[in-house]
Structures are given as C-alpha cells and as structure tokens.
Amino acid sequence: MTRARRGFTLIEMLVVLGLMGAIFAAAAARFDRIFVRTHLEASAHGLGDHFAYAIQRAYTTGSYHTFVLDLEAGRYRIKLGRESEDAQELLERSLGRGVRFVDVQVAYQTYLPPGVLQIEISPLGVTNDVVINLRDAREMELAVALNALVQSVEYFDEHKDYEELQDVPAF
C-alpha cells in the first residue's frame, strides 16, 4: 500500500516565495510613485489651506499676521504680528518628503531659494497675490495660486507664472 504525499517540497516552497517576493517588489515600486505624487499634492494643499487660514485669522482677530516661507529648508510658518516685529509663532509645517520650493512670486517679484520670504497680512485680511511653485523628487511640479482680493486658492498641475494668471488682456 502506498501512502499519499502530503505537504510541499522545499523546492516548491522556495519557488512560491520567490514569486511572491517578485510581486511585492513590483507593487512596492508602484506604491512609491503614488506616494511621491501624494506628498506633492499634500504639500500644495497644505500651503494653500494654511495661507487661507492666516488671512481669515488676521481678519477675524483684527491683527497683523505674517506668512513666512523658508525656501531652502522647505518649511513655512504663520506668525501673529508684523514681519518687522518679534512675532509669536502660531504654526510651523514642512513640505512633504522630497518636495521643495521652485520659486515664489509675490505680485511681479520672483523669489528663488535659498532665502526666507515674509508675506505680511493686514488686520483686514489684505495681502499680495502669491504664486508658489513646488517640485518633487521626480521633477513633477504643482503651482498654488493665492488670490488675495477674493481670497481664493487655485492649484495647477504645472509651473505657473504670476503674469499668466492675470486676467488683464495684453495691449
């Protein structure tokens, strides 16, 4: 009488583990690409949301606020008070992993890293229009456009210049 074979051989187990490892490696590479894009989008939306928050907070509290961008370190802060004062820090955030500032345009003036840019917001919530261009590790770019007059935030899937976002026709 012959016994029925039970279980798997060592070779069969190694083949299955090898196939599973290859599948997980391929999936991890795809997830990494998805997360890189997510870091860029999250950074852009965080900047836009926090800038809008600073404008709204300046208006509701009736006090000056300053939005500070550290272009080299990839950080930004909201401070209570004017840029010339020793203001109280309310919030500090970093851009996502692998995300950096390309440039920041305040009206028609462009600021490039390195450096620290301070944008003052009046007690009425008034400030300049700002365009912030971000780039990730894969060289993808997003732009955050902050329209101070109507207090709106727009996001673009490419680098934008302040001039191209103006509604004024060229003569």
- Sketch out the chain's domains with CATH numbers: 10-165 (3.55.40.10)
Mean pLDDT of 140-146: 92
Q: Is the model's pLDDT at 171 over the cut of 60?
A: no
Look at residue 121 in the predicted model and tell me its pLDDT.
92
Look at residue 159 in the predicted model and tell me its pLDDT.
92
Give the percent of the chain with pLDDT over 90.
Answer: 50
Taking residue 34's Cβ as centre, other Cβ atoms within 10 Å add up to 8
Q: Is the model's pLDDT at 77 over the cut of 50?
A: yes
Mean pLDDT of 10-39: 76
| Model pTM score | 0.75
Categorise residue 6: left if φ over 0, alpha if ψ from -120 to 50, beta otherwise. Answer: beta
pLDDT per residue as tens digits for the range 29-69:
666 555 556 888 999 999 999 999 999 999 999 999 999 99
Taking residue 116's Cβ as centre, other Cβ atoms within 10 Å add up to 14
Q: Is the model's pLDDT at 88 over the cut of 80?
A: yes
Q: Is the model's pLDDT at 10 over the cut of 90?
A: no
Look at residue 34 in the predicted model and tell me its pLDDT.
55
Mean pLDDT of 68-80: 94
pLDDT per residue as tens digits for the range 113-130:
999 999 999 999 889 999
Look at residue 8 in the predicted model and tell me its pLDDT.
76
